[in-house]
Amino acid sequence: MDRAKALVEKLFRESDIEINGSRPWDIRVHNEDLYRAIVRGGSLAFGEAYMAGDWDSDQLDELIAHLFRSRVVEKARVSFGNVAAYLSALGKRRGAKSHAFDIGMHHYDIGNDLFERMLDKRMVYTCAYWAKAKTLDEAQEAKLDLVCRKIGLRAGQHVLDIGCGWGSFGKFAAEKYGARVTGITVSKEQVALGRELCKGLPVEFRLQDYRDVKGEFDHIISLGMFEHVGAKHYKEYIDVVHDHLKDYGLFLLHTIGANANQGPPDAWIDKYIFPNGNVPSVAQIASAVEGRFVMEDWHNFGADYDKTLMAWFKNFDTHWPEIAPKYGEAFYRMWKYYLLACAGSFRARTNIELWQVVLSKNGVAGGYRSVR
């Protein structure tokens, strides 16, 4: 038997995955070159082979969950060709100001038509909060309300939303709480549609890097943007927040987090979905805020990202025929792999989480009461 095939089969067996098996999460191999490709290129090659149609699985999300639960992904990062990609990734200027708008052009400017069909009615592109919700719309409204309650938002207060997307938080906070919101983003498409969606409300959009923010704010929030900051710039980011937050204000950081400091991200995600990103660990966040903020609350609801991603995929898959002529089959397989592989990784609970961290400058007088 070919040595590459034998090695890959062994790793799959350790993950309870059978090649050409009958269970939903088993893998069907259509191209025998897959095994050598995986050994040479690790997770990057595995994802690219799926995009090329070299393999399939009836339940891709659960296949990925199996791989993460067995720690095979961690082994592959070291033992396979991922090492070359890993070393290359170390040299990237992640989060540098000169590259601040790259992620906007590469990902968030793909097309508003895609995101309108994939997301909820408010177009929230971050993890929903499913504690009592039954639908994606309900879960995203619950998440936005959770954020408002955690910062104690009151009518007339001015909030800075770093990485504001299409203005979902701004619109909600203005409509439900009577707040004023300034949102910044590096996506031209988000600004264009966001201004239309928030017309008539006290919600301002700025096409701007966070380092160029001016003014003081009652509260600052950041929902799903910290992953683009880059580990070398965490302290710089926290300093910017500190400098623009009023003394009594609260900062809420909503971010995907890693269970351990893993360095650069998965090579496939880095190349095709979120270039130059970093997922922070607990230690990295703690180091960045140390001496600048009091940590008032740390809330983990990472399991909710599995449900969110599966809901996004259902929407994407259902509405795909409406946009298929524009994007093409190769994009469909890439986007399907992105959504379902991420769902599987959150389901496994071994690698990544979703955190909301509430921080104050000087400690909340009398103590902060956690909101859930």
Asked which of 90, 105, 128 is the last residue of a domain, the reply is 90
Same domain, 72 and 179: no
Catalytic residue check, 342 = yes
Residues 40-88 have pLDDT tens digits of: 999 999 999 999 999 999 999 999 999 999 987 666 554 455 555 555 5
Asked if residue 108 is part of any domain, the answer here is: yes
> CA-to-CA distance for 244 and 213, rounded, in angstroms?
8
Asked which of 28, 56, 90 is the last residue of a domain, the reply is 90
Q: What is the pLDDT along the chain (372 residues), one digit of tens a residue?
A: 589 999 999 999 999 999 999 999 999 999 999 999 999 999 999 999 999 999 999 999 999 999 999 987 666 554 455 555 555 554 556 778 867 788 999 999 999 999 999 999 999 999 999 999 999 999 999 999 999 999 999 999 999 999 999 999 999 999 999 999 999 999 999 999 999 999 999 999 999 999 999 999 999 999 999 999 999 999 999 999 999 999 999 999 999 999 998 777 899 999 999 998 999 999 999 999 999 999 999 999 999 999 999 999 999 999 999 999 999 999 999 999 999 999 999 999 999 999 999 999 999 999 999 999
Same domain, 198 and 76: no
Same domain, 170 and 296: yes
Same domain, 72 and 187: no
Same domain, 267 and 303: yes
Same domain, 40 and 109: no
**Exposure class string for 35-71: b at 16+ Cβ within 10 A, else e:** bbbbbebbbbbbbbbbbeebbebeebbbbbbbbbbbe
* Residue for token pair 């809330």: 299
Alpha-carbon torsion 233, 239, 244, 247, what sign?
positive
Asked if residue 372 is part of any domain, the answer here is: no
DSSP helix/strand/coil, 232: helix
> CA-to-CA distance for 228 and 364, rounded, in angstroms?
29
Same domain, 86 and 101: no
Alpha-carbon torsion 47, 140, 104, 264, what sign?
negative
Asked if residue 366 is part of any domain, the answer here is: no
Asked which of 62, 90, 118 is the last residue of a domain, the reply is 90
Asked if residue 370 is part of any domain, the answer here is: no
Query: Which DSSP letter does residue 350 get?
Result: S
Catalytic residue of the set 127, 148, 198, 342: 342
Asked if residue 290 is part of any domain, the answer here is: yes
> CA-to-CA distance for 166 and 183, rounded, in angstroms?
9
Asked if residue 83 is part of any domain, the answer here is: yes
Query: Which DSSP letter does residue 356 get?
Result: E
Asked if residue 369 is part of any domain, the answer here is: no
Q: Which residue segment(s) compose the domain that 223 sits in?
A: 97-360
Same domain, 35 and 124: no
Asked if residue 211 is part of any domain, the answer here is: yes
Let me know: does 246 contact 270? Beta carbons within 8 Å. no
Same domain, 70 and 206: no
Q: Smallest Cα–Cα separation from 244: which of 211, 276, 271?
A: 211
CATH number of the domain that 248 lies in? Answer: 3.40.50.150
Same domain, 197 and 335: yes
Same domain, 85 and 103: no
How many domains does the structure of the chain reveal? 2
> CA-to-CA distance for 124 and 27, rounded, in angstroms?
33
Same domain, 25 and 45: yes
